[in-house]
Structure 1
Amino acid sequence: MSHIEKAEKAQPTVAANPPPAGYGYNQHPQYYRTLGDPGPLGLYGFASTTFILSMYNVQARGVATPNVVVGMALFVGGLAQFVAGMWEFATRNTFAATAFTMYGGFWMSFATIFIPGSGVAASYTDATEFNSAVGIYLWTWFIVTFLLFVASLRRNMGLIVLFFFLTITFALLGAGKFSTAHAVALDKAGGALGIVTALVAFYVGTAEMLSESALSWFRLPLGQIPKGRID
């Protein structure tokens, strides 16, 4: 018997009646889990990190050096929020996917500035130049946040309020880096609004987690916007 004949006889035969879709050849059903809502994870990651940094910006308990926030910014505000953004893409929620992924990247890039080994802050010998560079960085995020605020206007009041306060927060913090006479006052004002923003994000995240599908005892209102037709 030739090798070709042996190979032909060794080939498995295909069943005349293939098993139905969703079943393996062993006839055991295959179950597929749908994705849970990644929104609360992203919102909690954003809220907790924003709250800590904003407390430092208002110099709560005399803390003015923000370096302790680096760990939170890398792994909670950064990594956790970035992953939530990737999962939002899988659920076809483009707005949340864009917001979470962008702010996850923001927190990781912001933390990098304060990591000594990164050399970012150490490369500036002039404090004024460093503040101006950080100011441009913050004003760029003001633009991003304002555009997300515009995109949130058709969603719910919780998100609208969140992005409204966050937009002003970035504007104040960016202006504080450009100003020498009012830097501390603007930083504290930005920190105060950042605390408000974080509390709103905590509320929105909790409201999304206490959903009807989660069989919660109660729900929190988000102020849904009526979806009218746009021609």
Structure 2
Amino acid sequence: MSDTENLKAHYGPRPTKIANPGALGLFSFASTTFILSLYNVNARHITTPNVVLGMAVFCGGLAQLLAGMWEFPRGNVFGATAFTSYGAFWMSYAVILIPGFNVQGAYSTTEEFDQAVGIYLITWFVLTVMLLIGALRRNVSFIALLFFLAITFLLLAIHAWSGKVVIGQAGGGFGILTAWIAYYCGLSELLVRGESWFTLPLGGIKQERID
């Protein structure tokens, strides 16, 4: 073990006055994912997702980015990496859809644009799998969240490459499931012992000490 790890094991986590930003990050992620996923399954016959832009920039994007920044001084590398990464994802996704950036217009054909979007989405699938590996010793809820999110990215990437509507709708369905798992995790972070009538279990995994 390193000197830092020895100190942490002896004295416990470094004290901080920064409140837990987990609920903010998870609720922001869940709400934005839920709205876009409903569009992906064509809820209320909606096929144009641009109403999600405000959510993607300010809620899924900025709020989640701030949650990630607050996780760093708390010493939570996993939370900081996940929240910051997905905050950046939503901001970058918004850029693709905002007409003023004319991202799609830079491509000679719609087919080329769709293939590029597929590469964009499969990259986020890869990142999500990496985070899933990092979550394997944390708790069952976060494992489920990242597992279904990875499936969502994979299906949406395949949809972009193939153009098959049913695959995009399947991606939307998994996105809705992912959003509700994130809502559950966010509520669990919000309901702290001693301040709430009840708490929600995240499904803790017994960790054995690794030297």
For residue 95 of structure 2, the aligned residue among 83, 104, 112 is 112
- Identical-pair percentage: 57
- How big is the alpha-carbon RMSD for the aligned residues of Structure 1 and Structure 2? 1.2
CA distance in 2, matches of 1:185, 1:131: 16
| TM-score, L = length of structure 1 | 0.83
Structure 1 residue 178 corresponds to structure 2 residue 161: yes
CA distance in 1, matches of 2:189, 2:205: 15
Deviations 1:85-118, CA, capped at 9 Å, x for gaps: 0000010100000000000000000000011111
Structure 1 residue 209 corresponds to structure 2 residue 190: yes
Structure 1 residue 189 corresponds to structure 2 residue 170: yes
Gaps of 5+ in 1: 1-32
| Residue 12 (structure 2) aligns with | none
Gaps of 5+ in 2: 1-15
For residue 167 of structure 1, what is the amino acid of its counterpart? A
| Residue 84 (structure 1) aligns with | 67
Matches within 5 A, 1:37-116: 37-116=20-99
Structure 1 residue 137 corresponds to structure 2 residue 120: yes
CA distance in 2, matches of 1:225, 1:212: 19
CA distance in 2, matches of 1:43, 1:88: 13
For residue 157 of structure 1, what is the amino acid of its counterpart? V
1:227, CA displacement in angstroms?
1.3
| Residue 9 (structure 1) aligns with | none
Q: Secondary structure at the match of 1:212?
A: coil
For residue 55 of structure 1, what is the amino acid of its counterpart? L
Moved over 4 A (4+): none
1:125, CA displacement in angstroms?
3.1
The structure showing larger relative contact order (alpha-carbon pairs under 8 Å, at least 6 residues apart) is 2
Q: Secondary structure at the match of 2:72?
A: helix
Greater share of helix:
2
Q: Is the 8 A contact 1:116 1:122 kept in 2?
A: no
CA distance in 2, matches of 1:66, 1:130: 17
CA distance in 1, matches of 2:204, 2:124: 26
| TM-score, L = length of structure 2 | 0.91
